[in-house]
Structure 1
Amino acid sequence: MPYLSSSNNPWLEDAVAGISGQNIYVDPDVSGGQALTDALAGVVPGDGSIAVVVLPGDAARDTPYNTYILEQLTAGASQQTVIVAIGDDLQAASETIDDALRIANENESSGGSLQDQLLETVTEISAETPTSSGSDSGVAGPVIPLVIGGVVLVAAAVTAAGLIARRRRRTPAVSIDPVPAGIRLRVNRLRELRADYAAVPGSPVAAETAAGIDALASHVEQLFIRLDAKAGEDQSVLAEAEYSDKLARLVAALDRDYLLDLLTRPDLWDAPDERIAEVREALSSVTTQIVDNIKQVNARKGLLFQVSLDSLIGRSELRDWERQFKQSSGE
């Protein structure tokens, strides 16, 4: 996704500019920003592999979905890894570390101050970043003892190595996607369809639908990532069972043969306005429920499901397409 330089979000624009010439950007509106900057300077590698951005909670107020700012910062940064704190929400994305977001989420849920969470996240990601082994920060990789004026600085090396050893909780051989395979298939299909809607010229409804699909896909991923990091397996299984069918039904409704065709050739359908409204309402309702579920996970509460897609279930053609989707995906 290309970076969107927009005056609608001055925090984002300032942050992208901030990390273009340095690795740490703490917005002036963040309380205790200078102390946080100083603390981060002691752990962020100096090799340009990691950027850390700290923004006030208001920065995310008008964003279209949860990871929007992270995605825009990643697109606009030269660093391979971006760690961002927006209020008390900690996120990360990396080209070299597959579980960067999981590390951030686990540290966010560990309690403590934002500074502690950020320092721990930077330290763990630094320890797992291949390119950070040559860092001149003295924290992210092996520390080479230096002899200066006959003084051997071994103590500093031992201290740094011990810190990394204590904080490096895992060295996974492979990355395990926290999003179940069946849900991942549906998310991938949603993202394919998003591009189709975004390409429809002169249709505000198609543009709104593209944005809604993008938000839904992002929220689905966030739900299962946070369930994996913060909740028990039973909650993840429950969410998978709930959203497997709902997302399959939505994919069928959003597919080229239904809503997209309704928007581009409404003259070929009976009651096109009613059908379009049904799908848009279903998309909005499922997205709202998933956001509520994410909040429940963050609050350590059980998941509640209250949305039904009765209007879509009643369309026999959608049942056929849903069945075809499941067959094509091997379910």
Structure 2
Amino acid sequence: MPFLSASDNPWINDAVEGISGENIYVDPDVSGGQAITEALSGVVPGDGSIAVVVLPAGADNNTPYSSYILERLTAAGDHETVIVAVGKNLQATSSAIDGDVALRIANENESSAGSTQDALVETVQEISAETPTSPGGGDAGAGGAAIPLVIGGVVLVAAAVTAFGLIARRRRKPAASTDPVPAGIRLRVNRLRELRADYAAVPGSPVAAETAAAIDALASHVEQLFIRLDAKAGEDQSVLAEAEYSDKLARLVAALDRDYLLDLLTRPDLWDAPDERIGEVREALAAVTTQIVDNIKQVNARRGLLFQVSLDSLIGRSELRDWERQFKQSSGD
């Protein structure tokens, strides 16, 4: 079954529009939506740092991977933290705290809270508590205004260089991010780690085990590249790397996902030329990893970054082209 395009999924489109100017969006199809909105209004900060979206369970039907909706919503706005509930499933990502910590908080509350409403409230409160200089739950009064006054100079400088139409929607941000890995890249790294666990769980498959190890190495090297760029290189090099690897990692995640390589390894009888397809993905994974390691060495040597990997073999597969478009749309490209 083909994946829904962005224009075919009204729940996602409405949510993207809903958080373009608001911090809370609860879809009209969600049962008890008014109560959820009122509960969230009491804890979501008024400074735009956290956005919460609540969608019905059917919103993720035919999406290409589990964090697709979260990634679309993160790319759509300028919130530091985005929390999404699709049915009873909670996810979160953040540039204000470690993205893995935000996701863990959401997952733990999903399992322990008595209802989705309670899980969302707990997730907002815990992420707010973890966030440096967080204004806390929903108070936009005198106490909440103190921090914007302290960092106002930084915000004004950032606003002066913000491009296109995003200026009007720009939220106040902390003086420094706690995560040197850009939010879009962090989402892809998180997805790679989810997939690594899937491959490691395949019984009796040396190729799946090798792929799990290769995915783990790639995720680690991606993080190291951006950590070292943040510490040693200029902003222009970080921007170049983000643009390069947002695209490359998107294609790789699509190829590594459960509906392609993992299915090829577990049910090769259902595919034409399975060995050729498997070889293409493994070659692409190795090529991107090698390039990232080379980039890390270039950063260490204070040289400019060079990019030479094209992943043309993956682009040539019609099954993957639609997935690639979904990744580009989710990144705002």
TM category (shorter chain) comes to: 0.3 to 0.5
What's the TM-score, normalizing by structure 1? 0.48
What's the TM-score, normalizing by structure 2? 0.48
Higher relative contact order (CA closer than 8 Å, sequence separation 6+) = 2
Q: Radius of gyration: which is bigger?
A: 1
